[in-house]
Amino acid sequence: MSNTDVETKNIGILTTQSHWVRIAEGKAIEHWANRDDLGTATQLGWAPPSPAYLARMQMATRRARRNARRATH
């Protein structure tokens, strides 16, 4: 299973979000949203990240920094 696949478990999750809209002259001119991504990720088993994921991200960061240094020299 890749890190983009989601295993179907037929379970529900609970999450919260709120949306705020500013209306002027009958039109929505601004929109703000807030949601609980960490709570959702935890319920889905995505958080906390696995040690393997953290190692891959550390290697990718090092590789990107090394390539950026090479590009500027």
Q: What is the pLDDT of residues 10-53, one digit of tens each?
A: 778 889 999 999 999 999 999 999 999 999 888 888 888 888 88
Q: What is the pTM of this model?
A: 0.48
Amino acid identity at 52:
A
Domain range enclosing 48? 17-72
Specify whether the CB–CB gap between 47 and 38 falls below 8 A.
Answer: yes
Indicate the pLDDT class of residue 4, thresholds 50, 70 and 90: low
Q: How far apart are CA 60 and CA 16, in angstroms?
A: 32
Short-list 17, 9, 10, 46, CA closest to 33: 17
Residue 3 domain-assigned?
A: no
Structural domain total, the chain: 1
Residue 7 domain-assigned?
A: no
Count of residues making up the chain: 73
